[in-house]
Amino acid sequence: MEKTLGTESETILVVDDDPGIRNLLQAGIQMAGYQCFAAESPTPALAVLEKYAVDVVVADIKMPEMSGIELTHIIKARYSADVIIMTGFIEDFNYEGIIKQGASDFLQKPVRIAEFIARLKRVIAERRSRIDLKLNLEKLRRAMEGIVEAISVTVEMRDPYTAGHQKRVADLACAIAQEMQLDEDTVYGLRMASVIHDLGKITVPAEILSKPGQLSALEYELIKSHVQAGYDILKQIEFPWPLAEIILQHHERLDGSGYPRALTDGQIMLPARILSVADVFETIASHRPYRPSLGLARAMEEIRENRGRLYDERVVDVCLALIQEERFNFPS
């Protein structure tokens, strides 16, 4: 889509089957300094929306082809424009109901042009604020990604194997979360936690991390300390997601046999439940410095046998379905 006339001012589209109202509003909008298109019905209006980046649509509520409410639904589904609805049948509609349908404002006909322009400017100002907020949030998200990436690189420099493990676990955890239809922000936070979930292993001697055979009781306690260490490193950073807590909980088990706090079923957050299944599955299925891969079949057996006891039932079911139906594969 493109702006018309080579300017950066907002573009308004007026949709009304009354030519007198169309012309009046278009003249007022242009005098206020905005670009303006006009359409006599929804079909040509949608053609304009396809071609140009329209910021605000001003639509009558009763028109041929479809109502202004139906047009609003299409606009909100396909485009980023705000919508102002107008009607002369004020007794048939109310402000709250129209706003719930997706409109940004609701005006009664006959329209007083000064009031209309004032309301239009308010909608535009709110729109600009939302856009600025979105840009600032995107900058914040990029900054958070940079922090997490820096942490991940630190882990990779200390132990290249651990970094690869974390990335594979993150891929599986996010595939499970998406299949469970968790919201985008929760999935994003889960990925951030997953790619650094073993951060605390930088405090564990490398020879213990890669030791073949049985660990001593003391060595195992050192391994277990990595979740608390990771939590302690991250807890002072104000991420938009509970990364430190997810990492702290990813070795907890439903029956209370996990660590470090022996949490039980209702005390373990869902992202940590997902991460724990993905972590166990990848650990078994993938190669280790001290042993070859035990295979997908053994990994599936582990989570299936302990479904509902150690691991969340729904998470296990989704993980198994993804693997069995070949809708997820670890990158080679």
Domain boundaries, the chain: 11-132, 159-324
- What is the C-alpha to C-alpha distance for residues 119 and 105, in angstroms, rounded to an integer? 8
Q: What per-residue confidence (pLDDT) applies to 169?
A: 95
pLDDT at 140: 79
Query: Cβ neighbours of residue 10 under 8 Å, at least 6 residues apart?
Result: 34, 35, 55, 56, 124, 127
Q: Would you state the pLDDT for residue 202?
A: 86
Q: Is 56 helix (H, G, I), strand (E, B) or coil?
A: strand
What sections of the chain are H helices per DSSP?
19-31, 42-51, 68-78, 95-100, 113-158, 160-179, 184-194, 206-209, 217-234, 243-249, 270-285, 296-305, 313-324
Predicted TM-score (pTM) of this structure: 0.66
CATH superfamily of 11-132: Response regulator (3.40.50.2300)
Mean pLDDT in order along the chain per 10 residues (332 residues):
53 94 94 94 95 95 89 94 85 75 88 92 93 85 80 74 83 97 95 93 82 84 92 88 95 96 95 98 82 86 97 97 93 70
CATH of domain 159-324: 1.10.3210.10
Token digits of residue 92: 């048939």
The predicted pLDDT at position 7 comes to: 43
Residue 201 known to be catalytic: yes
Angle ∠(34,38,42) on CA atoms, nearest 5:
130
Which three-class secondary structure string do you get for 152-181? HHHHHHHCHHHHHHHHHHHHHHHHHHHHCC
Which helix (H) or strand (E) element contains residue 38?
Answer: strand 35-39
First to last CA, the chain: 40
User: In the prediction, which pLDDT does 6 show?
Assistant: 38
Q: Choosing from 100, 121, 167, 201, which is the catalytic residue?
A: 201
Closest CA to 197 of 256, 257, 272: 272
> Residue 36 and residue 29: Cα distance in Å, rounded?
7
Strand pairing class (56-60; 105-108): unpaired
